[in-house]
Amino acid sequence: MQIEFRDLMVNVATGGVDLDKQLPPVLLLHGAGMDRTVWSQQTRYLAHHGFAPMAVDLPGHGDSEGELLPTIAAMAEWVAGFVEKMGLDPIRLVGHSMGSLISLEVAARHPQTVERLILMGAAAAMPVHPELLGAAERNEILAPQLMTAWAHGSRAHVAGNPTPGLWMRSGCQALLERAAPDVIYNDLAACNSYEAGDVAARIECSVSVMVGSEDKMTPPKATAQLVAGFSEVDLQHLKGVGHMMMMEAPDQIRELLLQALR
């Protein structure tokens, strides 16, 4: 569905049902260069299991209008404003990769806005390989290729998609190739320059973190550094899974997500 916010249209996938504001709302934030469809294995399920999911396309991504937001802080303020305008607070916030950084910042800056935080492919710092950053800056196809290659665990490079007929690797690559020029660079640069500081210590709500054992983009070690900063956190390890865990292990993530949201 399209929602007007600050005079621009924001595109949101609600799991194929009308947004029911009586149900606990869940805002899902995608990663760099991606869009709402990274949550396609979860949104319909949540919508039929007692929640009101909203997988949002960030400004300039997917089918949302608007200028790209240059920093994680700017993205976080945009999200907080959107949640407030929709009257959804306090909200359950789910973030993947860049979306996890945005979620962290929203929760730290606006504690009253966020009731629960669920992070996937998360780390306190996300330094980006300089050659990837360069390829993204030049809008070369190498950028989607490198991201796709690094974002999947070894199993996903061969098989294992539970959705009959879908091929995960090209799915990720096509999604990234569809991004408008400069989107990937904008997002990677935002991740690269993000400094978490004491953000974890400032989080007041409950936090769940899911980490893939084969994640090369935000490796388990990097996630552990972030996790160490939380006063209380539920950490779930997924074996044989890479960075795109919502796609690589959709059944597991659906279950874990439901547990964490309830």
Partner 1 sequence: MVEPDYLKFDTLSLHAGQEPDPTTGSRGVPIYQTTSYSFVDTEQAAGLFNLEQPGHIYSRISNPTVAVLEERLAALEGGVGAVCTASGMAAFHLACATIMSAGNHVVASRNIYGGSHNMLNLTMPRFGIQTTFVDPRDLDAWESAITPDTRVLFAETLGNPGIEVLNVPAVAEIAHSHGIPLMVDATFTTPYLMKPIELGADIVMHSVTKFLGGHGIALGGVIVDGGRFDWAANDKFPTLSEPYDGYHGITFSEEYGHQALSMRARAEGLRDFGAAMSPANAFHLLQGVETLPLRMRRHVENTESVIDFLETNDAVSWVSHPAVSSHPDHELAQSLLPHGAGAILSFGISGGREAGRRFIESVQLASHVANVGDAKTLVIHPASTTHQQLSAQDLTAAGVGEDLIRLSVGLEDPSDIIADLARALRASQKG
Write out the residues near partner 1 by the rule CB under 8 A. 1, 11, 13, 15-17, 35-37, 40-41, 43-45, 47-48, 62-63, 129, 131-132, 142, 145-146, 148-149, 155, 157-167, 169-171, 173-175, 177-178, 250-251, 254
Do 248 and 237 meet the contact criterion of CB atoms below 8 Å apart?
Answer: no
Least distance in angstroms from the C-beta of 105 to partner 1: 26
Q: Report the residue number, 90 or 134, with the smaller CB distance to partner 1.
A: 134
Residue 111, helix vs strand vs coil: coil
Rounded to a whole number of angstroms, the minimum distance from the CB of residue 13 to partner 1 is 5
DSSP letter (8 states) at residue 66: S
Helix, strand or coil, per DSSP, at residue 223: helix
The rounded distance, in Å, linking the Cα atoms of 54 and 66 is: 18
Nearest residue (CB) to partner 1, 15 versus 25: 15
CB of 226 to partner 1, least distance (A): 25
CB of 183 to partner 1, least distance (A): 14
Q: In the complex with partner 1, which residue's Cβ is closer, 25 or 250?
A: 250
Nearer CB in complex with partner 1: 46/104: 46
* Rounded Cα–Cα distance for residues 8 and 187 (Å): 20
Q: Closest distance between partner 1 and the C-beta of residue 165, in Å?
A: 4
CA distance 146 to 229: 30
Q: Say how many CA atoms lie within 13 Å of 139 toward its Cβ.
A: 6
Asked if 214 and 154 count as a contact pair (C-beta separation under 8 A), the reply is yes
